[in-house]
Amino acid sequence: MEPQGQAALVTGGARRLGRAIALALGRAGMRVAIHYNASAAAAEAVLAELRALGAPCVAIPGDLGRTAECERVVETALAEWGGLDLLVNNAGIWGPTPIGSVTEARWDELLNTNLRSMFFVAQRAAPALRAAHGAIINIADVGVERPWHNHVPYLVSKGGVVTLTRALAKDLAPEVRVNAIAPGPVLLPDDWTDEQKEQAARSTLLQRVGSADDIAHAALYLARAGYVTGVVLPVDGGHLLH
């Protein structure tokens, strides 16, 4: 699939990884719909950047923790573009949840936002993606393979994303390719100390932290890779091998 003129929907497209992916798709000539929840100002800023690139674009608000909103966001994108060639399931949340502190509400929030929403967005988009012989890219996490402390619900949700990716690749074949990106140490938390950031860099073979653009480049590759499906691509500087 060549991106020029194709239509994309990027969930969580206003900030961080989603923003970088949306801009990369716009530079490649795609029409880009970005979904956002509570980041209206950031979404408008991304739209301004996309317009400066000459990319047709639209922002769609919605709380993907609610199934009806998942479906409405997709329906709005379909109404805007008249179809869909690429879905990037990026929207997600995270945060520490030490054992003993996890509430049912927090568990549900993490699983609903990070996993359930991906399925219902993909399910609603599937007919249009089948018609276009399009693609889905889900955002997972290398922490699924090397879990860190105090993030059980988050890591369970991202483990589900890996299984979801492989299962959807089977169920939507041969028309739709479904892959995932598993970021490693990129976009570290702002409140981390210099020592924590240096430790993250040392945890990779490349001895450095990655950037949002590294993930965006991988997304652009998977959008174009017509003979790749069911793959979870680590973009981690060799973290899993270190």
Report yes or no: 160 and 180 within 8 Å, Cβ to Cβ.
no
Burial, 61: exposed, middle or buried (Cβ in 10 Å; 0-12, 13-18, 19+)? middle
Burial 94-133 (b: 16+ CB within 10 A, else e): beebeeeeeeeeeeebbbbbbbbbbbbbbbbbbebbeebe
Is 221 annotated as catalytic? Answer: no
Place of tokens 């990884």: 17
- The single residue of 36, 154, 221, 227 carrying the catalytic annotation is 154
Of the chain, the end-to-end C-alpha distance in Å amounts to 34
Please identify every residue annotated as catalytic: 154
